[in-house]
Chain A
Amino acid sequence: MSHSLNEIEAMSKRAARGAGLSWGLAEEAAKGTRWLSSFGFSGPELLADLLELNDRLPPVDFSPVSLRADVWHAPARRMSPLLAGAALSDCAVRLLERGTITMENVSLPMLAVPFMGGAALRLGVPVAVEWEGVRLATDGKQLSVQGDATALRSAQADRVVFIAPAEMAGRREPVMRADVSDESWERLGVFAHRTYAPATEESRLRGAGAGLSDND
């Protein structure tokens, strides 16, 4: 079904929160899912995969142990692309100083790509990423994809390398609408539903402050 990007962002934020992420990370997950959708990738499906994988598990287990390490790795030997991506975006300046940041065992690495867009905008130079024979580069506004496209759906990549500054080979423009499969939407909906308070008569009357007649 055709969805607006704002719908995708709103659903993704609720779903990420429902899966136990902090509000701040849920916001990052939502912006990222929107960004992927705007380039025609199945952002909602990738996000649903990740939320099911790490459902309500402690984020510290899937976060980089140290931002100064030569190779970023997570204690649980499985890096969340959201936590790692957010850290990469926070460290944009460091990325440019170092030239590359390498991460090990990244789950669903495609979900880390949008954070590269944020880093590129901050740095004012394109940023690239490589794993399993695929290379993506972005200046934050457009995207180039080279190599083995099957890697874009990779469930886990042993080694993911971010590079700045980078060259862009070709330019894909974002679009303003996205098709989302009903299945992905429902999978996210299960998580999102956890953020809604059950309806009670008391909340219906008190919570929105009604009670006066509208037939006047």
Chain B
Amino acid sequence: MSDIARRDPNTVMRLARLGSIHQSRLSFMRVLTRRLAREGWTFEQTAFEVDDNGEGHAVYTAHGPDRAYSLIAYAHDLPAEKRSDRVIAEAWDATFTLFDGVPTADDIERLSHNIPVQEAGRVSGTELSVSRANRSVRLWEHVVSELAAGRQPSAEQIDAVGYLMRTTAVYGSGKLGAADREMIADRPEFRAPFQVEMLSVFLTRWFVRDLVQHMADRRAANAGEDAAKLSDELARSMGIGNSTGLGMAPFLLNHPVLFNNWVAARENAIQTVRSLQAAGAEEVALFLSLIERSKITIAGWHSEHKIQLEKLDGLRADVEKVSDYLAKNDLSGPRPWDGLYIWAETALSLEGQEWIASLILEPYGDLVDGFADDMAADNTATFRIAGAMTIGELRALLRDIYAWAIDTDWVAPENKARAWYVSEEKLEPRLGERFEEPIEEYEQPLAPGRDAARLFAALEHWPDEAQVAEFVLRHPEHRHVLRRAQIVGRAPYAEIRDNTISDQVLPIDMLRCKLAFFGATQFDPRSDRWVRICMYGNAPFPTELTTENADFWVFPDRDGSDMKGVGA
């Protein structure tokens, strides 16, 4: 019996909550590593031609049951003054493409003229992604110099940064001429979202380890010495950083059906686990061990940003409250997960609630992992407007989805203080001050609440029985938000039910949400519109991947055996 409802979209889809989501079993990195391990993928480095200055290329190939994919990496010697994580940067420490198959020498040569210049280059349908990364300058130099001096780098310094390189953009799906997602979406390995990008980053982490070792080896050799080999434990503790700016925020608004499917999959999983009548001893033991392992991640989560520091204080207090709860409640009663969740809803901060909501899924892979199959989206069917819908029906739909917006005073400047626009500089997405900058005429349609309220007002004098086809013929300016409303009518988690243009909006909430679905941890906002994260920290390297370590690597283990599988 399942009388536990899915969480209400009006609760889930608020920005503060979306900005507090944690990774889960359904996160795209974990979906990928589970598949690679389950299907027995093999991995090889087939080229590594990098000189003493760190310039050259390398190729890493992943062989699956039916197809192979290769990361082609180009390494560069970048002067410090050119190092920027912004979209408007023009040079990077390393650049990459994920190639469909095994590249020939001609492919590597062709791409060597295009990948290093990123947006200024052109790729083809055999390239699945284009990306770039910059070094963490302080950690890179520390690791190279320590290894070159024959010593292991400091674990403390490594923990303080978490990665040697951070990607600053990973482009997929047709960008710069690459293959469209539609070209590869029917391949089982790419059925879940963002698997191309996640595979690219997984292989990038391997390349970065090889590159830092190579640079240390060469530095030592030039001094007539032998460098130390970076220990497996230290190497594994490092992930790949990612520096994400505003470009990801519009993504969630521009792909409503896809976003719905991500959130709905997680909500279905939460509902499924909350509905369980009882928890087995093994499941409880695994859950408790992952609570402990999560505490390590939470304790080592660094940020200098005021907003995140406050959230971290709350989360750390929540961790204590959860420990107290679990000391008094051994999860042996009826519906133990629902009991825990209901308690969390009232006792914990949003960070803590979403941490628990994700964590209760962990013991139930058999029940919830299948929801990942529903996370992709084909927009074709939902794109068309149902013109026969009556105005009365549309009005009811708007009242249901956009009640908060209809009740907002859109004349008040603070409620529409910002505007999203695209700059002519490399088409960088930006957020500006509507009343201070000349940007309004360039505004992107990224304020669905305001637009829905306008539509609602425009319908006021139309009779209930008229059809929306008649209305929108006269008012094409409402066509965009009318389509959205109809989409959300079918896909309730498709819409952010919050103000995306107020003077209070925090774009990092949207970035955090998307990155949590990727599987990122340790969100570190650099401003209200820029966040750094870590991907694949503690993960096995590709050649170490097994079915035992493919799933729970995201939870570090205090005794150092991060590779451990289930429970004990």
* A contact set with B: CB distance below 8 Å: 1-7, 21-25, 27-28, 31, 59-60, 63-64, 67, 83, 86-87, 89-94, 118-119, 121-122, 176-177, 193, 195-200, 202-204, 206-212, 214-216
Interface assignment of B480: CB less than 8 Å from any CB of chain A: yes
10 tightest A-B CB contacts, nearest first: A24-B479, A90-B387, A207-B430, A6-B174, A4-B174, A209-B529, A24-B480, A196-B424, A90-B469, A23-B480
Q: Which of B24-32, B85-93, B352-360, B536-544 contacts A (4 or more CB under 8 A)?
A: B85-93
Do A5 and B174 contact each other (CB < 8 Å), given the known contacts A89-B384, A196-B422, A208-B428? yes
Main secondary structure of the interface of B (DSSP, over half): mixed
A47 to B428, CA, bound (A): 25
A67 to B481, CA, bound (A): 22
Q: For A93, what are the chain B residues with a Cβ–Cβ distance below 8 Å?
A: 387-388
A24 to B482, CA, bound (A): 9
Least Cβ–Cβ distance between B478 and chain A, in angstroms:
7
Least Cβ–Cβ distance between B250 and chain A, in angstroms:
12
The listed residue (B136, B427, B432, B480) touching A203 by CB distance below 8 A is B432
Q: For A4, what are the chain B residues with a Cβ–Cβ distance below 8 Å?
A: 125, 173-175, 177-180
A118 to B380, CA, bound (A): 8
Whether the pair A176, B476 counts as a contact (CB closer than 8 A) is no
Q: Which of B42-50, B61-69, B220-228, B437-445 contacts A (4 or more CB under 8 A)?
A: B437-445
A193 to B425, CA, bound (A): 11
A3 to B175, CA, bound (A): 9
Whether the pair A122, B384 counts as a contact (CB closer than 8 A) is yes
B110-159, CB < 8 A from A: 122, 124-125, 134, 136-138
Q: For A87, what are the chain B residues with a Cβ–Cβ distance below 8 Å?
A: 387, 469, 473
Whether the pair B432, A89 counts as a contact (CB closer than 8 A) is no
Do A212 and B526 contact each other (CB < 8 Å), given the known contacts A90-B472, A177-B125, A195-B442? yes
The listed residue (A7, A196, A199) touching B177 by CB distance below 8 A is A7
Q: For B431, what are the chain A residues with a Cβ–Cβ distance below 8 Å?
A: 207-209
Whether the pair B423, A199 counts as a contact (CB closer than 8 A) is yes
Least Cβ–Cβ distance between B27 and chain A, in angstroms:
24
Interface assignment of B470: CB less than 8 Å from any CB of chain A: yes
Whether the pair B424, A63 counts as a contact (CB closer than 8 A) is no
A-B contact pairs, 22 of them (CB 8 A): A2-B124, A4-B177, A4-B178, A5-B182, A6-B173, A6-B174, A6-B175, A6-B180, A6-B181, A25-B476, A86-B385, A93-B387, A122-B384, A176-B179, A195-B442, A206-B432, A209-B431, A209-B530, A210-B245, A212-B527, A214-B85, A214-B243
Least Cβ–Cβ distance between B169 and chain A, in angstroms:
13
Taking CB as reference atom, which chain B residue is nearest A140? B380
Whether the pair A121, B384 counts as a contact (CB closer than 8 A) is yes
Least Cβ–Cβ distance between B21 and chain A, in angstroms:
21
Least Cβ–Cβ distance between B190 and chain A, in angstroms:
14
A193 to B384, CA, bound (A): 27
Least Cβ–Cβ distance between A200 and chain B, in angstroms:
8
Which of A198, A204, A209 has the largest count of B CB atoms less than 10 A from its CB?
A: A209
Whether the pair B177, A67 counts as a contact (CB closer than 8 A) is no
The listed residue (B85, B174, B469) touching A7 by CB distance below 8 A is B174
Whether the pair B86, A176 counts as a contact (CB closer than 8 A) is no
Interface assignment of B344: CB less than 8 Å from any CB of chain A: no
Q: For A121, what are the chain B residues with a Cβ–Cβ distance below 8 Å?
A: 380-381, 384
A2 to B124, CA, bound (A): 8
Residue-wise interface mask of B (514-526) relative to A, using a CB-CB cutoff of 8 A (1 in contact, 0 not): 0000000000001
A83 to B475, CA, bound (A): 11
Whether the pair B384, A118 counts as a contact (CB closer than 8 A) is yes
Interface assignment of B468: CB less than 8 Å from any CB of chain A: yes
Which of B175, B384, B472 has the largest count of A CB atoms less than 10 A from its CB?
A: B384
Q: For A5, what are the chain B residues with a Cβ–Cβ distance below 8 Å?
A: 174, 180, 182
A196 to B428, CA, bound (A): 9
Interface assignment of B483: CB less than 8 Å from any CB of chain A: yes
The listed residue (A3, A59, A203, A208) touching B439 by CB distance below 8 A is A203
Least Cβ–Cβ distance between A174 and chain B, in angstroms:
10
Least Cβ–Cβ distance between B419 and chain A, in angstroms:
10
Interface assignment of B461: CB less than 8 Å from any CB of chain A: no
Whether the pair A91, B387 counts as a contact (CB closer than 8 A) is yes
B443-461, CB < 8 A from A: 445
B70-113, CB < 8 A from A: 80, 83-88
A176 to B483, CA, bound (A): 26
A5 to B179, CA, bound (A): 9
Q: For B122, what are the chain A residues with a Cβ–Cβ distance below 8 Å?
A: 1
A57 to B392, CA, bound (A): 32
Whether the pair B177, A195 counts as a contact (CB closer than 8 A) is no
Do A215 and B83 contact each other (CB < 8 Å), given the known contacts A195-B442, A209-B528? yes
Q: For B383, what are the chain A residues with a Cβ–Cβ distance below 8 Å?
A: 27, 31, 118
A63 to B469, CA, bound (A): 13
Interface assignment of B51: CB less than 8 Å from any CB of chain A: no
Q: For A89, what are the chain B residues with a Cβ–Cβ distance below 8 Å?
A: 384-385, 387
Least Cβ–Cβ distance between B443 and chain A, in angstroms:
9
Whether the pair B175, A7 counts as a contact (CB closer than 8 A) is yes
Whether the pair B473, A195 counts as a contact (CB closer than 8 A) is no
Interface assignment of B400: CB less than 8 Å from any CB of chain A: no
Interface assignment of B39: CB less than 8 Å from any CB of chain A: no
Do A199 and B425 contact each other (CB < 8 Å), given the known contacts A23-B480, A87-B469, A210-B86? yes
10 extra interface residue pairs, beta carbon distance < 8 Å, beyond A204-B425, A211-B527? A4-B125, A4-B174, A22-B476, A31-B383, A67-B473, A197-B442, A198-B424, A207-B428, A207-B432, A215-B83
